[in-house]
Amino acid sequence: MPLSLDDARATLRTMIRTIDKKVEFSVALDDSSRPGVTVALSRQKDRATIAISQAQLEAANADSMARSQLRGVLKRTIDRMSFKPNEVASTKMVRGTITDDGFFRPRQGGPRGGRR
C-alpha cells in the first residue's frame, strides 16, 4: 500500500506535540531504497533530520508498542538536537590572596584559639 503523506504527517504531528509543542517539523516523502518519510525537526537554532520507514509508520498506526518505540526515536532525536554540554571545570588551582602573614589567616582570639 502506498504511503500517504497526509496520514504520515498527522501521525507524526500527534507524537511530536506530545513530546514538545514548540518543535516545528516538516515531512517529505523519501523515495530511496526503502519507502518512507524524512522528518526535519527544528526548534529555535537547533535542527535535526530523521528518516522513518513506511513499515515503522504502519506499525505505529496498528500497534501501541510500535507507536511507543517510534515516539522514543523522535524524543531521542529532539533531545540530541537540543543538547548543550556544560562547560568543563577548570583544573587550574585557585590561590588565596597573599597577605603579610602569608596565605594563611592569622590566629583569632586568645591562647585557646578563639573558638570553643
Q: Which is nearest to 54 in space by CA: 99, 3, 105, 89? A: 3
6-14 long-range contacts, CB within 8 A, separation 24+: 7/57, 7/61, 8/37, 8/52, 8/57, 11/57, 11/60, 11/61, 12/37, 12/39, 12/52, 12/74
**Cell numbers found for residue 19:** 513530546
The pLDDT value recorded for residue 109 is: 63
CA 104 to chain centre: 46
Q: What is the mean pLDDT of residues 34-55?
A: 92
Query: Under 8 Å CB-to-CB from 62, ≥6 apart: which residues?
Result: none
Average pLDDT of the chain, as a whole number: 84
Higher per-residue pLDDT: 98 or 66: 66
What percentage of the chain carries pLDDT values higher than 70?
78
Is the pLDDT reported for residue 46 higher than 60?
yes
What percentage of the chain carries pLDDT values higher than 90?
58
pLDDT band at 84 (very low <50, low <70, confident <90, very high): confident
Query: Under 8 Å CB-to-CB from 100, ≥6 apart: which residues?
Result: none
